[in-house]
Chains A and B, each alone.
Chain A
Amino acid sequence: MQRRDFFKKLGVVAAATAVAPAMSYAADAKKKPQGPNAFSYKQAVDVVTGGKPVKTSSKIQMKVPEIAENGAVVPVTVTVDSPMTDADYVKAIHVFAAKNGNARCVDVNLTPANGKAMFATRIKLGQTQEVVALVELSDGTFLTAAQRVKVTIGGCG
């Protein structure tokens, strides 16, 4: 009898351990954490450009590590080749993280008084994804550049 009980219990425990992680995973997927400002990348780009065409440009230099060991702090530097005069300057630099819950990171509005179109900050990345810089020039054209970052440990959540 004792032996039989032991095997019964063993079976129950095994079944429970097999099912429990699957259940908790399903529950997690159901209420996937959505931050207060969940915003997709596509939406974010649409809001900024208003449907205008966006051109990939080599004028933008992005300095982002290819492999980020810690997703909580990823340094990003965006430099735009521009004379920054009253007639021709960079109006805004937008930084997006394509797969973050909230894809928007920062919108920077520059003026000719900056002298040089550059912006650097540190962002959080939840997973391996592309970091995108969208640049608006004073004549209304949009330029973009992107770089893929491999994230070893996610930094959102």
Chain B
Amino acid sequence: MGKRKSLIKIKPKKYKDGEIVKVSFMVMHPMETGMRKNKKTKKIIPALYINNVKFEYNGKVITTMKVWETLSVNPVFTTYMKINGSGTLKVTYTDSSGEVNEKSKKIKPKG
């Protein structure tokens, strides 16, 4: 399967120290419910979905999420975050097959 494509977006793009910004995390994931059938083979496609998502900012856990298969395909998770000095935002996500991936983004406040 390889590494999944994911993206962290911060809005607004230019931010100052202490500002509250919107953080979106998008990931390309099939989010199979375990109820869908393969139309050709008529076999049920096994469930495969993201379990846990964790937002870490400079090693401090900001937000954790427990997720079920009821989220849409290629889910997006959006929350706010308070900028507190430069560093990195790391998002770790686990899938129901046990696959663990992470994505990080450098935080550089200006001014």
The judgment on whether A and B are partners is yes
Contacting pair A102 B69 (CB below 8 A): yes
B47, B60, B71, most chain A CB atoms within 10 A: B71
Contacting pair A111 B63 (CB below 8 A): yes
Q: Does B35 contact A (CB under 8 A)?
A: yes
| A 95-147 contacts with B by CB, 8 A | 97, 100-111, 113-124
Q: Which residues of B contact A101 (CB under 8 A)?
A: 33, 35
Across the two chains, which residue of chain A brings its CB closest to B18? A115
Contacting pair B70 A115 (CB below 8 A): no
Chain B positions 68 through 93: 1 when the CB is less than 8 Å from some CB of chain A, otherwise 0: 11111101111111101000000000
Complex Cα–Cα for A92 and B56 (A)? 17
Q: Which residues of A contact B60 (CB under 8 A)?
A: 113
Chain B positions 27 through 41: 1 when the CB is less than 8 Å from some CB of chain A, otherwise 0: 000010111100000
Which bracket fits the contact residues of A?
35 or more
Across the two chains, which residue of chain B brings its CB closest to A100? B70
Contacting pair B76 A37 (CB below 8 A): no
Q: Which residues of A contact B79 (CB under 8 A)?
A: 108, 110, 114, 118-120
Q: Does A73 contact B (CB under 8 A)?
A: yes
Contacting pair A113 B70 (CB below 8 A): no
Closest CB in chain B relative to A34 CB, distance in Å: 8
Complex Cα–Cα for A118 and B81 (A)? 10
30 A-B pairs with C-beta separation under 8 A: A33-B35, A35-B33, A35-B35, A35-B69, A36-B47, A77-B78, A100-B70, A101-B35, A105-B67, A105-B68, A106-B65, A108-B64, A110-B63, A110-B79, A113-B57, A113-B84, A114-B80, A114-B82, A115-B20, A116-B20, A120-B76, A122-B71, A122-B75, A122-B76, A123-B70, A124-B33, A124-B70, A124-B71, A124-B72, A157-B35
Apart from A73-B73, A120-B77, A122-B75: 6 A-B pairs, beta carbons within 8 A: A105-B70, A110-B63, A115-B82, A116-B20, A118-B78, A119-B77
